């Protein structure tokens, strides 16, 4: 008998038929003797419908009211799922974020969870009830509705699992686990039975959109075993946990890629202390998030500075950078929105040399030019021309033998 | 400078375009220097959409979850209207029933308001903000979401007006006031500039579905002047208040009618004490609401007993009555679902004789047979064959000269 937090995403509860199917699934788990806390998202399409309404009223809806609006999406799902459970004879009770109460800071649409009052949930569990909690939402100290931002339901589930000291947090989604890479690109891609928090974090932030990074981070911080499973198929999914001592780690666990970035270069910048700040400060002031940053070694007291931003922000960042270039007396600003980032991820890298050279060799063999390189302890990312994406991912998948267990 | 509570119904906020129009209207009032508290319903169609979802899950959805579900309808509207106000530069803040907090009993879907905490609203008003409150909803002592039942937004508005000691409670709807009768039946029907609470109560409960009876009752109890106005046209509407001393009252204010009733008779019942209870007890036990009740004077220790129920309950009530007839040894059970109730209403009746005979004479002149009669201090209702409805209402409207001021 375990205490399990399960989260069902928007596709899993996209219709009343699917909600009934989720209820049956929950009742099955319940019959195995588990205590269950269920976190749900809005029915797929609902959040977009609500945002559409807001945009008909205002191009920049007031943040406080935006949260009041979109939080209704999850509220509809908790009510319907609780009804479905009770229709099948399973005692259940729904809670909005405010009712739980999930206390957050007051940053609307990007709130962070501060504290969870788990007393009502514990009472329900003791009474044999399944509790159904609205993901993605909370309240601030003054009782204003807040939301955690898109994908925040994962974070709600993990935070609840941490607060309740649950045995496992299961994220049900439309894929049956975490793969070595996107199977649409590499048909031989293999589902991983296990992956570490750190690796998952790299995979998530690098573009494998199965789990929200913050949820993985949170799970790692509170050591909540996290499992990604399919809502529609049976299976063990992928368990995300800490590296176990003595566990033989593969060198590379997976290959992530991201098509959403664009590259900008400011060339011929005087190579002085503080120049990086003078370039990136104005970018940050415009709320443009920067991902990879590379500064080449200077020549003749001049240097080149390259970074990537989200492709949607490319034009805006370019304008800012042109102003900066004039201020600094830089030679020129160039850019390219048609790039992709490809990364190999694996905790095994720590103890194995030659991974990076293996990656570069493999890309060179395919004639793929590397435009930028960035590394961390457990990942190596390269930026390449977007037309080579599939070729690169397939070559690396084969090179590191990821199709094999 | 007055404090006014305004309520906008579902049609008035049925699209984002209309919500923007309501926002403009509110800003106009605000510019005249009034403090404004706005109560809104769900966008028209939304409550039915939500109920449709619930019914896909369960034929009898759990009451607690049903309220969690349908209360999202108003929550969407408060957010959108607050956005629209702020988009036009008017400071505003939205509140759900739970946020206000509107405390109710725990009877889900038919909750009654117990108390309203007006402190947050007062702070907002003092700061120049328009407050936008979700109608129809509240919370019980344990923080569970409750709803007041259909049309409950009127009640919310009146209760807020009472709690805030507002100068007036304005109900914006799709008609421009209370008419002497339904203009679709009598084209000469005239908008009343004033009507008393008691008359309105009779008009409302008799089938003029402009205002919910409970809201009128509440307004009368706390002496909140209530005004019915159109959302779409300019005008003074109809003010509902107490009869003013010395005010010349017309004999009859209006004619109400109700097509939703059905008639049942149990004939040849032993005329003993307690027989009415033995007939109506089982009906009440099945939650069937009874409206008019008439018992004829008995003959040979036998009597006939007739009453009306909602037409939807006709078959069910008939079955119950057949069982009762067997138990009591009654002669027969007859019924007719094709009847209507027509009523004349007016506080002037109190001081004027001959109103009833005038009504009966008028109907007799048209050859309309009266099947049942029921009277109160300020109204006379008759049940007639439904095919005579329009004829009867027109004849009475002319008879009592209601087209004239």
pLDDT for B206: 65
Band (pLDDT 50/70/90 cuts) for residue B207 is low
Q: What is the mean pLDDT of chain A?
A: 91
ipTM of predicted complex: 0.80
Tell me which of B65, B70, B73 to substitute to probe the interface with A (most A C-beta atoms closer than 10 Å): B65
Burial of A364-381, coded b for 16+ CB within 10 Å and e otherwise, reads eeeebeebbebeeebbbb
Predicted TM-score of the model (pTM): 0.82
Which residues of A are less than 8 Å from B65 in CB distance?
A: 78-80, 82-83, 86, 94
Nearest to B362 by CA among B400, B404, B396, B402: B396
More confident residue, B349 or B24: B24
In chain A, whose CA is at the least distance from the CA of B99? A143
CB contact under 8 A, A76 and B72: yes
- pLDDT exceeds 90 at position A397: yes
Q: How far is B223 from chain A (nearest CA, A)?
A: 32
What count of residues does chain B have? 405
Contact yes or no for A14/A72 (Cβ under 8 A): no
Q: Is residue A22 very low, low, confident or very high in pLDDT (cuts 50, 70, 90)?
A: very high
**Is residue A150 over pLDDT 70?**
no
Looking at residue B347, what is its pLDDT?
Answer: 87
pLDDT bucket at B84, cuts 50 / 70 / 90: very high
Confidence of residue A347 (pLDDT cuts 50, 70, 90): confident
Q: What is the mean pLDDT of residues B297-308?
A: 83
Selection from A208-217, A292-301, B363-372 with the highest mean pLDDT: B363-372
**What are the backbone dihedrals phi and psi of residue B92, each rounded to the nearest 5 degrees, phi first?**
-155, 160
What does the pLDDT read at residue A246? 57
Range with the poorest average pLDDT among A69-83, A245-259, A341-355: A245-259
pLDDT at B103 exceeding the cut of 80? yes
Q: What is the reported pLDDT for A278? A: 87
B61 touches A at CB < 8 Å:
yes
Contact residues, chain A, for B82 at CB < 8 Å: 62, 64-65, 68
Q: Which residues of A touch B145 (CB under 8 A)?
A: 96
Interface mutation vs chain B, best among A65, A132, A133, most B CBs within 10 Å? A65
* Separation between Cα atoms, residue B175 and residue B237, nearest integer Å: 9
pLDDT digits (tens, 9 = 90+) for B320-357: 999 999 998 899 999 999 999 999 999 888 777 788 88
Asked whether the predicted pLDDT for residue B151 surpasses 80, the reply is no
Among A61, A82, A143, select the one facing B99 at the smallest CB separation.
A143
CB atoms within 10 A of CB B52: 10
Look over chain B and give the mean of its residue pLDDT values, rounded to a whole number. 91
CB-based contact A62 B82, cutoff 8 Å: yes
For the record, the structure tokens of B252 come out as 């009859």
* A 91-110 near B (Cβ less than 8 A): 93-94, 96, 98-99
Distance from CA of B287 to the nearest CA of A (A): 23
* Reported confidence tier of residue B126, pLDDT bands at 50, 70, 90: very high
pLDDT category at A393 given cuts 50, 70, 90 is: very high
Give yes or no for a contact between A11 and A44, defined as CB atoms under 8 angstroms apart. yes
pLDDT at A247: 59
Residue B248: is its pLDDT beyond 70?
Answer: no
The predicted-structure confidence for A115-132, as pLDDT tens digits, reads as follows 999 999 999 999 999 999
Mutate to test the interface with A, among B80, B101, B119 (most CBs of A within 10 A): B80
The token pair at A94 is 């729904």
Nearest to A54 among B75, B83, B94 (CB): B83
CA-closest candidate to residue A97, choices A42, A173, A59, A18: A42
Query: Which residues of chain A does B61 touch, with a Cβ-Cβ cutoff of 8 Å?
Result: 83
What residue ranges in B174-318 does DSSP mark as E strands? 194-196, 226-230, 238-241, 254-258, 261-270, 290-295, 302-310
**Strand partners of residue A307:** A264, A293
Say what the pLDDT of residue B211 is: 82
In this prediction, residue A171 carries a pLDDT of 95
Concatenating the DSSP letter of every residue in A237-273 gives -EEEEPPPTTPPPPS--EEEEESSEEEEEEEEEE--T
Task: List, for residues B177-203, the tens digit of each pLDDT value.
Answer: 999 999 889 999 999 999 999 999 888
Contact list in A for residue B80 (CB cut-off 8 A) is: 53-54, 57, 65, 69
Contact yes or no for B291/B308 (Cβ under 8 A) = yes
Task: Flag if B62 and A83 touch (Cβ within 8 Å).
Answer: yes
Model confidence at A20: pLDDT above 90: yes
The C-alpha atoms of residue B69 and residue A42 are separated, in whole angstroms, by: 12
Contact: A83, B61; criterion CB under 8 Å: yes
Nearest residue in chain A measured CA to CA from B82: A65
Mean pLDDT (whole number) for A278-301: 84
Least reliable range by pLDDT among A76-80, A174-178, B83-87, B333-337: A174-178
What chain A holds in terms of domains, given with CATH numbers, is 3-174 (3.40.1160.10)
Residues B256-279 have a mean pLDDT of 88
Cβ-Cβ contacts under 8 Å between A and B: the total is: 109
* Chain B residues whose beta carbon lies within 8 Å of the beta carbon of residue A96: 68, 145
Q: Is B87 on the interface with A (CB under 8 A)?
A: yes
At residue A338, the pLDDT reads 95
- Between chains, do B93 and A64 touch, taking CB under 8 Å as contact? yes
For every residue of B283-348, DSSP letters joined together read: HHHTT--EEEEEEPPPBTTEEEEEEEEEGGGHHHHHHHHHHHHHHHT-SEEEEESSEEEEEEE-GG
Provide the 8-state DSSP code for B399.
H
């Amino acid at each position: 008998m375990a205490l399990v937090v399960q989260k069902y995403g928007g596709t899993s509860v996209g219709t009343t038929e699917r909600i009934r199917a989720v209820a049956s699934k929950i009742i099955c788990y319940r019959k195995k003797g588990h205590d269950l806390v269920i976190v749900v998202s809005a029915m797929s399409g609902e959040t977009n419908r609500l945002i559409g309404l807001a945009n008909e009223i205002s191009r920049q809806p007031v943040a406080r009211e935006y949260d009041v609006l979109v939080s209704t999406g999850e509220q509809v799902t908790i009510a319907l799922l609780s009804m479905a459970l009770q229709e099948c004879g399973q005692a259940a009770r729904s809670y909005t974020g405010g009712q739980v109460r999930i206390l957050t800071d007051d940053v609307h649409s990007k709130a962070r969870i501060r504290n969870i009052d788990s007393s009502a949930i514990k009472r329900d569990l003791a009474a044999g009830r399944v509790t159904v909690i609205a993901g993605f939402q909370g309240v601030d100290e003054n009782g204003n509705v807040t939301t955690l931002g898109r994908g925040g339901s994962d974070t709600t589930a993990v935070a609840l699992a941490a607060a309740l000291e649950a045995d496992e947090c299961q994220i049900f989604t439309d894929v049956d686990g975490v793969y070595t890479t996107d199977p649409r690109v590499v048909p031989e891609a293999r589902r991983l039975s296990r992956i570490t928090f750190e690796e998952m974090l790299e995979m998530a932030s690098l573009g494998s959109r199965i789990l929200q990074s913050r949820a993985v981070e949170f799970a790692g911080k509170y050591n909540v075993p996290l499992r990604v499973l399919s809502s529609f198929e049976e299976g063990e999914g992928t368990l995300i946990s800490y590296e176990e001592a003595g566990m033989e780690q593969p060198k590379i666990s997976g290959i992530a890629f991201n098509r959403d970035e664009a590259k900008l270069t400011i060339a011929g910048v005087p190579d002085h202390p503080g120049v990086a700040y003078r370039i990136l400060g104005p970018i940050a002031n415009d709320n443009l998030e920067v991902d990879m940053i590379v500064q080449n070694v200077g020549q003749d007291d001049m240097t080149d500075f390259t970074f990537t931003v989200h492709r949607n922000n490319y034009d805006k960042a370019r304008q800012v950078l042109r102003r900066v270039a004039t201020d600094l007396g830089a030679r020129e600003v160039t850019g390219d929105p048609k790039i992709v980032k490809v990364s190999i991820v694996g905790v095994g890298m720590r103890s194995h040399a030659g991974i990076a050279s293996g990656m570069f060799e493999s890309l060179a063999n395919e004639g793929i030019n590397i435009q930028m390189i960035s590394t961390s302890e457990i990942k190596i990312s390269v930026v390449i021309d977007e037309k080579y994406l599939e070729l690169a991912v397939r070559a690396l998948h084969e090179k590191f033998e990821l199709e094999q267990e």
